[in-house]
Chain A
Amino acid sequence: MPRYGIAIDTTKCIGCHSCRVACQNQQGLEYNQSFNWIKEKERGKFPSFAKEFVPLQCNQCENAPCQRVCPTGAIYTSPEGVVLVHKERCVGCKYCIEACPYKVRTVDHHEGIVVKCWFCIDLVRAGGEPACVTTCPTQVRIFGDLDDPGSRISRFIATHRAEPLRPDLGTRPRIFYKRS
């Protein structure tokens, strides 16, 4: 069974938000619900001023804080290592939203449950890639199997020493960032 992850090259992100809307359509989300965010970060003073767009989505942590706090056990990990929410078990208490250090979970007010990115696992199982990956104009994201050392993603992470966000938290995310 593959262990899926995404590598993100922020040096190529232009903040066009195509990933956000592609995802909303794929998942049937309303305009004000999203599984994707882009944070714009400015640093330095002119002439060494620089800006970075950092795409954010569920990190599919191996040691997921959301999973640990869920009182109903609604959060589970799929065989491919994707963190999922069981719709019938979720009671919408939002503990997981509080626990998530990346703040990437959102409430579905229609169903009264908490939802988030799930790597478009239905598309992936059918042989495709997540919607945010395929639509990106500059191909910021690389999707693939972290356990296969020959996969594009593994080679990318190794070459560029891509790191997850806040590795110090011990959440062991499956999204890796190349940031400079």
Chain B
Amino acid sequence: MKKKRGISRRKFLIGSAAGGATLLAGSYLRPNSWAAKPKAPEAVKLTPTLCDGCGNWCAINVYTKGDRVWKAEGNLIAGNNVGRICAKGHALLHEAYNPDRIKSPLKRVGPNKFEPISWEQAFKEIGEKTRQISEKHGPESLFWLHYPEGNAALAQRFMTALGSPNVFSHGSTCFLPRNIGWWLTTGSSKPEHDFENTRFMLFIGRNPAAGLQLRQLKDMAAGRDRGARMVVVDPRFSEAASMGHQWIRIRPGTDLALMLAIAHVMIKEGTYQKDFVEKYTQGFEEFASQVEQYTPEWAEEKTSIPRDTIVNLAREMAAAAPRAVIHRGYHGAMGTQYKNSLQLVRAVACVNGLLGNFNQLGGLFEPPKVKLGSLDKERFPAPPKVDGPMVDGSTDPERYPLTPKGHGLTHAIPELAIEGKLKAGFVYHNNPLRTNPNPARVIEGYKKLELLVSFDYVLSETASVAHYILPESYYLERDDVVHSNHCYKSKQVAIRQAVIKPLYDTKPLFHILREMAPHLGIGKYFTCTLDEYNEALLAPLGVTLERLKKEGLIDLGGEWKPGEPKFSTPSEKLEFVSSTLRDLNLPAMPAWEEPLVVPNRTDPHSFRLIHGKQAHQTHARTVNQSYLKEITLVNDLGRVWIHPDRAKALNVRDGDCMTISSSVGKGRARARVTDGIHPECVFLPSGYGVFSRNLKTGFGYGISYNDFLPTYFEPVLGHTMSGEIIVRIEKT
């Protein structure tokens, strides 16, 4: 160590940042605003746990100062966040101290009037009501709805014990076609990308820089540093585009046409990976003759992308194959946004097939899976299986045969409640009143329920109309079940655990279910403790619960290596022609399908409304957080994007207020006039538009796309088609 002017580095060492060691706070800055001002230095403790900011459940190490939460750092080995945390992950630490948190179980005694009750009373009354409803209308009239799905196994056990098949996720408003399309084509619903080693990455209707996936972002940046080309196809200049080499502006809802034309070019020019196609795919000949008609000229007409750009894109990709990859998609064009989304996912999977990138370096791969154990059935009897389709028709061969149980169609719940088919519901951390289309209809539906139990930590829109609110301990205050979704290239297992003691009279979900079960007559299925449950899950892995709690996340090895591709489809090949779809008499091959609605091109007021996430918000879930809202306010991020030419025609200038209306709703928003958007659409950032007065930070700011979206059910899967919105825009 160098010494200068008599000051050694050692003298400046304040403490050690190592886990559990004592660290003094910086001396000249004011200490943590929400921490009590420390007179003496407080002990700093590190607890590994899982974030709850979105569905990724990133592994984080949370530091506490004394008994208060201080900050968090990412777990360096965690497959899905590799040491990183997003703004939401940092900001949500503060929510533990949100003064508006629910402090004990509540019973609604009038419109927006709540009375604190004891857990015992809540369980007793919920138990009685549920049993009455179940006896009168059958257990099929009960449902469970959750997001995120980390505790799905518990929910399934609970509902199965009650005799109901109705467990819903947020899937039909998010990712449903993506999962089904990939599963139909390759047998795997969520392949991963080896962006680090790729030479060409294409993002189509997907923006991982705002619908954050931290691992993917890190790898995209690394791949780009190593010289990979990054092309982003999007109606707007997305955050991913700002990182990319090329932005291709596409007419919203026409991504399918682009994919088909790329397939056309690659097949016509013979640049696809012939060995791969011959060995590992089925139906190539039929597919080739099908895409014959989809010329780049035809696609130019549909997508508004110049023919040469399409041809060049296909050539560049083919030249980099098999180290070229098209992103598997999420909630964007490949999610629940368009009528043709399922076909688009199939087309993207097929073009990845033409690139021959499956299980290849720089291509797509199936992440290694951890096989968790299960409870010993002798000691802890499992409830009898509930057969048959869900009440919304999911898995019903006559209705939505491909929509899986455990996901269902969440936006069918209000309709079914109005029809009287659903009578009682348990909503776990989901907020359908804000996140489902056409809120007026959703409110009407949920209000029809005879019993609505909400598990939440604040009075969200949904909690505000619930009969009972059971406050689950905040994620920093609770122990949860073992989690295995962190696998990226290797097998990993992780656990959420309490960082601080519960501040109020709240309980973790496991305890709530265990204590409520006897009142519902299903106590015998909930006799084990959380530790016993977790030990059973960990048993096959050779990992003790004690070690997992100490380390938070354990890597079990089994690293992915490039090799022979394997497909778990009926033909055990990549299916250009889907045998499952053919058996169901559905279009078995990707073919062009028009979007459901199109804006009137001759009307200067007519636009398609597109929407998407911002990196610092998880839809409606985080908009009530003051640190995150401040980011929105400081950067004025609640505005609606509009193209300068279209804005000029409406006499709208940057910052002006616009009135936006559709067949179901009306709202006002300020304009952000930018060249970074397709002239035929406007872009509305998702998440804002909180209408529960009990969410004091978020209330009254912005609007939500759901306000303008009619209730649609896509014919094959039944999803929301949330991009099929035509709005009329006027200067206010």
Contacts and interface: CB of A to CB of B under 8 A. Distances in A.
Interface of A: 1, 11-18, 20-22, 24-32, 34, 37-38, 40, 42, 44-47, 49-53, 79, 84-87, 108, 110-111, 115, 118, 121-123, 125-128, 131, 134-139
A51 B221 contact: no
A87 B90 contact: no
Contacts of A46: 249, 675-676
A24 B29 contact: no
Interface stretch (B81-89, B345-353, B581-589): B81-89
Interface stretch (B417-425, B488-496, B624-632, B705-713): B624-632
Contact of B17 (A42, A108, A121, A126): A126
Given A1-B2, A126-B14, A139 B218 contact: yes
A118 B214 CA distance: 26
Given A122-B26, A125-B12, A42 B627 contact: no
Contacts of A22: 71, 85, 87, 90
Contacts of B35: 28
B616 interface: yes
B224 interface: yes
A14 B615 contact: yes
A127 B71 CA distance: 18
Which of B30, B70, B239 has the most chain A CB within a 10 Å cutoff? B30
B5 interface: yes
17 contacts: A1-B7, A13-B242, A13-B243, A15-B615, A18-B85, A29-B33, A31-B626, A45-B675, A46-B249, A49-B675, A121-B26, A126-B16, A126-B17, A134-B74, A135-B84, A135-B85, A137-B214
B676 A51 contact: yes
Contacts of A25: 70-72, 90, 93
B86 A137 contact: yes
A137 B84 contact: yes
B649 interface: no
B375 interface: no
Contacts of B239: 14-16, 53
Interface string B603-635: 000000000000110000000001111110011
B679 to A, nearest CB: 9
Contacts of B676: 42, 46, 49, 51
Contacts of A31: 94, 626-627, 629-630
B217 interface: yes
Given A1-B2, A46-B676, A134-B83, 16 more contacts: A13-B242, A14-B243, A16-B209, A21-B631, A28-B70, A31-B630, A50-B247, A51-B237, A87-B27, A121-B26, A125-B9, A126-B23, A135-B85, A137-B84, A137-B218, A138-B217
Contact of A17 (B9, B87, B93, B249): B87
A138 B2 CA distance: 33
Contact of B635 (A30, A40, A137): A40
B635 A18 contact: no
Interface in B1-30: 2, 4-5, 7, 9, 12-17, 23-30
B243 A12 contact: yes
Closest 8 CB pairs of A and B: A28-B32, A16-B615, A21-B90, A14-B209, A25-B71, A138-B221, A87-B28, A31-B626
B86 A18 contact: yes
Contacts of A111: 30
B243 A138 contact: yes
Contacts of A17: 87, 615-616, 631
Contacts of A139: 218, 221
Contacts of B247: 49-50
Interface in B27-62: 27-35
A77 B490 CA distance: 46
A26 B7 CA distance: 26
A119 to B, nearest CB: 11
B461 to A, nearest CB: 23
Contacts of B2: 1
B663 to A, nearest CB: 30
A29 B630 CA distance: 13
Contacts of A135: 73-74, 84-85, 90
A111 B217 CA distance: 39
B391 interface: no
A27 B627 contact: no
Contacts of A49: 237, 247, 675-676
Given A1-B9, A31-B627, A16 B30 contact: no
A16 B249 contact: no
B4 A1 contact: yes
A4 B242 CA distance: 28
A125 B13 contact: yes
Which of A79, A87, A110 has the most chain B CB within a 10 Å cutoff? A79
B727 interface: no
A132 to B, nearest CB: 11
B240 interface: yes
Contacts of A11: 243
Contacts of A126: 13-17, 23
A42 B641 CA distance: 13
A85 B28 contact: yes
B87 A42 contact: no
A20 B87 contact: yes
A110 B616 contact: no
B548 interface: no
Interface in B538-582: none
A122 B85 CA distance: 21
Nearest to B83: A134
A124 B55 CA distance: 33
A121 B13 CA distance: 10
Contact of B220 (A15, A37, A42, A138): A138
A15 B617 CA distance: 12
Which of B12, B25, B27, B249 has the most chain A CB within a 10 Å cutoff? B12
A135 B60 CA distance: 11
Contacts of B84: 18, 135-137
Nearest to B23: A126
A129 B480 CA distance: 32
Contacts of A13: 242-243
Which of A14, A26, A53, A131 has the most chain B CB within a 10 Å cutoff? A14
B591 interface: no
B212 interface: yes
Interface string B219-254: 011001000000000000101111100010100000
A128 B17 CA distance: 8
B221 A32 contact: no
B17 A127 contact: yes
B484 interface: no
A137 B220 CA distance: 10
B86 A32 contact: no
B210 interface: yes
A92 to B, nearest CB: 13
Contacts of B382: none
Contacts of B217: 14, 137-138
Contacts of A47: 249
B464 to A, nearest CB: 24
B467 to A, nearest CB: 34
A134 B73 contact: yes
Contacts of B23: 126
Nearest to B220: A138
A87 to B, nearest CB: 4
B619 to A, nearest CB: 16
A162 to B, nearest CB: 15
B90 A24 contact: yes
B661 interface: no
B12 A52 contact: no
B100 to A, nearest CB: 15
Which of A16, A40, A42 has the most chain B CB within a 10 Å cutoff? A16
Contacts of B240: 14
